[in-house]
Chain A
Amino acid sequence: MAADRLKVGPIMCHAHGLCAELLPEMVRLDEWGYPILADGPVPPVLRSDARAAVAACPTLALRLRSD
């Protein structure tokens, strides 16, 4: 099975920061509030949290891609 990876669209992202609240294990914010994503695929235990973060992103800038 292909592993899911998080991607953020840097132009679509408006620095709302919900991703860092919902998935702190993989997302931290820079000093302006924009997300910095952890490298590598989303571990299976975090998959539902990652989906929640993607669904809550106000600008749909955060996406899960399987590669």
Chain B
Amino acid sequence: MGQTLWFASRATGLVSLLLLTATVVLGASHSGRVATTRWPRFTLHAVHRNLSLLAVAFLAVHVATAIVDPYAGIAWLDVVVPFASTYHPFWLGLGAVALDLLVAVIVTSLVRTRLPLRVWRAVHLASYALWPVALVHGWGIGGSDSSLSWVLALEGLCLAAVVVAVGLRLRATHPDSEARR
């Protein structure tokens, strides 16, 4: 096996960042009522939802391979209990925080129609906290990977995409939201 598991964990971590970035960008756009004739509202919503579920699948592999690989000695509990691990407690802890928040966001979304809207929305807004926490987790724990120019470029592009999407979301207006002020 050698380093296979470790490489798999790092690679799926980076892919997860890409998927989470796309999910946040699409989510912010959907919430800001972005639509074109080729991309009506429901398509953005569906891709947002499906990419988030794909991210969960990649994160499952990311987390499982990191635990199974004996190199770092990460325990199952370290994945959900923040800052308790012996291996990079702070950087791994950020990953645990992001994972806990993501589980809350996904579970509440799966039962969204059965929850009060306000509860679902409050939990869903945690996405805007978990995304930067996940980004910093990857940057901090990446070791020598984090000094590779293409990894830094990827992280920079993801950050720029989210900043632009959130900026546009904050500026988005609609007569309905204006009337409710």
CA–CA, A55 and B41, complex, Å: 14
> If A32-B175, A54-B113 touch, does A16 touch B40 (CB 8 Å cutoff)?
no
Chain B residues whose CB sits within 8 angstroms of the CB of A56 once the complex forms:
42, 45
Main secondary structure on chain A at its contact with chain B?
A: loop
Mask: chain A, 28-67; 1 = CB below 8 Å from B; 0 = not = 0000110000000000000000000011101110000000
> If A32-B175, A55-B112 touch, does A16 touch B41 (CB 8 Å cutoff)?
yes
Residue in A closest to B45 when the chains form the complex, CB atoms: A56
Contact A21 B41 (CB under 8 A): yes
Residue in B closest to A62 when the chains form the complex, CB atoms: B113
Chain B residues whose CB sits within 8 angstroms of the CB of A15 once the complex forms:
174-176
The answer to whether A8 has its CB under 8 Å from any CB of chain B is no
Q: How many residues of A contact B (CB 8 A)?
A: 16
Chain A residues whose CB sits within 8 angstroms of the CB of B33 once the complex forms:
16
Residue in B closest to A61 when the chains form the complex, CB atoms: B117
Contact A14 B42 (CB under 8 A): no
A57 to chain B, nearest CB (A): 9
Residue in A closest to B117 when the chains form the complex, CB atoms: A60
The answer to whether B147 has its CB under 8 Å from any CB of chain A is no
Other than A14-B174, A21-B40, A56-B45, give 10 A-B pairs with Cβ distance below 8 A.
A12-B117, A15-B174, A15-B175, A16-B33, A16-B41, A17-B41, A22-B42, A59-B117, A60-B112, A60-B117
